[in-house]
Amino acid sequence: MLVGILILLLFASTPQIAPPIQGLQLSSVRDMFNEIHNGHPHEAIDMMEPRGTPVHAVVPGTIRKLFLSKPGGITVYEVDEKEVYCYYYAHLDRYAEGLHEQMRVAQGDVIGFVGSTGNANANAPHLHFAIFELGPAKEWWKGKAINPYQALVEAIQRTK
């Protein structure tokens, strides 16, 4: 009984997603969630990709916020259909044409393109990808950081 509950909790904390980059390889994904970057917990996975590589919605959902920030640069906050998780895509070069807040997207839709905006190294374009479990208020800018590494590994394995 206890083992069954633990398994349910494990899977509840790693949502099923699709890869944000088409053709993403396991060798391109490293667990850096707990690393310290710029004096703060990273709480994300960076995927090094050529500038302009399309970034895809990992789940069907709603674009909750398009945001330009000093650390994240050009960013997208996508909330899943049940408003349990928020997916954060940062350092984008640009948004997909026509992307706007409150827009519904399907899993796999192109939402932006890999870049190096914000505090990213201009010579190291990448996708900074994070998952947050939303609280009762469903605030896109708040939530409990969830390590996306295992969800990304599983997503890549499902595509093979």
pLDDT value of position 116? 98
Q: What is the structure's pLDDT at 13?
A: 55
Tens of pLDDT, residue by residue over 27-78, are 889 999 999 988 889 999 999 999 999 999 999 999 999 999 999 999 999 9
Parent domain of 65: 2-158
Region of 98 please: left (phi>0), alpha (psi -120 to 50) or beta. Answer: left
Q: What is the CATH number of the domain that holds 47?
A: 2.70.70.10
pTM comes to: 0.90
Domains held by the chain: number: 1
Which pLDDT score is estimated for 6? 40
Distance CA 45, CA 57 (A): 15
